[in-house]
Amino acid sequence: MKLVRSVGVVGAGTMGLGIAQVCASAGIDVLLYDINTNQLDKAVQAIGSNLAEAVSRGRISDESRIATLSRIRKTHDLNFMVTDIVIEAAVERLDIKQTLLVQLEKVNEGKAILATNTSSISVSEIAARLRDPSSCIGLHFFNPADRMKLVEIISTKDTKAEYTQAISDFAKKIGKVAVYAKDSPGFIVNRVARHYYVESLKLIESHAARVEAVDALMRASGFRMGPFELMDLIGIDTNLAVTTSVYEGFGKAHKFTPSRTQQQLVARGDLGRKTGKGFYEYNQQK
Ligand SMILES: NC(=O)c1ccc[n+]([C@@H]2O[C@H](COP(=O)([O-])OP(=O)(O)OC[C@H]3O[C@@H](n4cnc5c(N)ncnc54)[C@H](O)[C@@H]3O)[C@@H](O)[C@H]2O)c1
């Protein structure tokens, strides 16, 4: 059985930084990479602030904060990403994910488990350009990765059984509860959740309700967050990319048609919390 002592996280955005934090908090050495050097620095700062907040709320000790931070190292060169597992958390684009995994397979001489945090793209397609597609598996975290317990594990028809077991053990080690999903568009959660976003967007586009009203009502009906607050947290570009991928994956099924409102926000660069503005405005960029 493959032992996991080190994890590489590729893409240090909303999800990558959370995943790095979770792994380091569980005592695992983490190597973090992003193509954008500024984002890599911002990610480590954000992890530092998250951990400091956890100390101030009494959730972790200061020793634990220091130890967790010391386990996270940054690299500006993908060629140094030699680890037991690599978790790819770059943007939701098939071409980028395929290219990254091909490079990571080479750098690791085929010895690493190549996990992808894709929300919706076929894991088999992501693995298709690898020399050995059996090393690839989906490991889908939820946002915020440090707090959400659930992960979806997506094995393809090629994934080594030994690797599925190793990822399952790894999920447990970092405190997650794993469910096993088939390699179909949006897997389980994102396929069901699409309607939460798509129907809410249709409501505002047909002037049937306002953003604030929809969010307030959905919260009042028991959801933790309204759809627009949630899209701002997820990142409107990521949310749109996932809807588009599910739409394409189901043969352009009308019910998943991507929203023009989201397309316009993305074109303007209003991506939600991470840019300080989306459906709502935020004082601090996150
Ligand atoms: N945001 C969510 O709520 C959420 C939840 C679960 C899964 N995901 C998935 O996680 C992945 C990342 O999403 P995110 O929300 O963190 O996106 P993000 O936009 O916040 O971050 C993506 C990061 O990838 C980096 N990147 C782009 N090209 C790269 C490359 N070639 N090499 C290395 N880094 C590169 C960008 O610089 C950016 O920092 C996507 O596949 C997404 O579908 C997102």
How sure is the predictor about 46, in pLDDT bands with cuts at 50, 70 and 90?
Answer: very high
Q: Which among 120, 134, 155, 190 is annotated as catalytic?
A: 190
From the CA of 92, how far away is ligand 1's center (Å)? 6
Which among 180, 99, 79 is positioned nearest to 138, based on CA atoms?
180
Using left for φ > 0, alpha for ψ between -120 and 50, and beta otherwise, residue 204 falls in alpha
Which among 285, 16, 284 is positioned nearest to 139, based on CA atoms?
16
Calculate what percentage of the chain has a pLDDT beyond 90.
97
CATH number (3.30.2130.10, 1.10.1040.50, 1.10.10.60, 3.40.190.80) of 190-275 reads 1.10.1040.50
Q: What is the pLDDT of residues 174-195, one digit of tens each?
A: 999 999 999 999 999 999 999 9
Give the type of residue at 49. Answer: S
pLDDT average, residue stretch 97-106: 98
Judge contact between 119 and 29, C-beta under 8 A. Answer: no
Whether residue 119 lies in the annotated active site: yes
Instruction: Note whether 6-180 and 190-275 share their fold.
Output: no
Q: Which among 6, 25, 140, 155 is annotated as catalytic?
A: 140
Q: What is the pLDDT of residues 6-28, one digit of tens each?
A: 999 999 999 999 999 999 999 99
Query: Is any atom of ligand 1 closer than 6 Å to the C-beta of 89?
Result: yes
Query: Is any atom of ligand 1 closer than 6 Å to the C-beta of 16?
Result: yes
With a CB cutoff of 8 Å and minimum separation 6, the contacts of 284 are: 276
Q: What is the pLDDT of residues 134-159, one digit of tens each?
A: 999 999 999 999 999 999 999 999 99
> How confident is the model at residue 4, as a pLDDT?
83
Whether residue 53 lies in the annotated active site: no
Q: How many helices (H) and strands (E) does the chain have?
A: 11, 8
CB atoms within 10 A of CB 248: 16
> How confident is the model at residue 104, as a pLDDT?
98
From the CA of 216, how far away is ligand 1's center (Å)? 28
Assign domain 6-180 to a CATH class.
Answer: alpha beta
> How confident is the model at residue 284, as a pLDDT?
64
From the CA of 134, how far away is ligand 1's center (Å)? 23
Burial class (CB in 10 A: 0-12, 13-18, 19+), 39: middle
Cα–Cα distance measured from residue 46 to residue 145, given in angstroms and rounded to the nearest whole number: 13
Q: Is the pLDDT of residue 286 over 60?
A: no
Cα–Cα distance measured from residue 93 to residue 244, given in angstroms and rounded to the nearest whole number: 11
Domain extents for the chain? 6-180, 190-275
